[in-house]
Structure 1
Amino acid sequence: MQSWITVILMYAAIFAVFYFLFIRPQKKKENALKEMRNNLNVGDKVTTIGGIIANVAKVEEDSVVLEIGPNRTKVPFEKWAIGTVESKTEQA
């Protein structure tokens, strides 16, 4: 009986270590990315997950329209494709 309790406690300890080292930080990162993508504004400079640097021209529910290049070509992207926001527009 004592050995079963030890085994159960070891599995619980291993699960706790994995949760605090891997699962919890990943969920925090996903929530931060989701919040960042939901707070996009027109004029923000963003980088897509493919490495394209552009300015946000229009924000829709599930997508954004980005201005790319010197000709300011407008290209639609899904919000999940936005990797980082380089700079926010100045809020007055």
Structure 2
Amino acid sequence: MEPIIMLVLFFVIFYFLLIRPQQKRQKKVREMQSNLQKEDKIITIGGMHGTIHALDEGTIVVRVDDGTKLTYDRNAVREVVSSENDEE
């Protein structure tokens, strides 16, 4: 009986230390990517800095400083540096 209790205890500790924090981070990233808006300044996973020019269901068009426009998957956005809403 005691080994079963130890196994359950090990799983509970594993869940709260590793699985749950990772799920929270993934949820936060999904929310950020679904709340992207035109003119948000972003950084992609590859490190490219740009401004969102257009949005689609699963893709975004990013405009960089020299005026070049590149199409990326929404999942390629690592973070929003500044939002149009933040500046108001």
TM-score scaled by length of structure 2: 0.94
* Residue in structure 2 matched with residue 87 of structure 1 by the alignment: 82
Q: Distance in 2 between matches of 1:43 and 1:31?
A: 23
- The C-alpha deviation readout for 1:28-78, integer Å capped at 9, x for no partner, is 100100010000000000000000000000111001000013x21110000
TM-score scaled by length of structure 1: 0.90
**Matched residues, number:** 87
* Residue in structure 2 matched with residue 77 of structure 1 by the alignment: 72
Structure 2: gaps spanning 5 or more residues: none
Matched, 1:13 2:12: no
* Residue in structure 1 matched with residue 24 of structure 2 by the alignment: 28
Structure 1: gaps spanning 5 or more residues: none
RMSD, matched Cα: 1.1
Q: Distance in 2 between matches of 1:53 and 1:85?
A: 10
Matched, 1:41 2:37: yes
Runs of 4+ in 1 over 6 A off after TM superposition: none
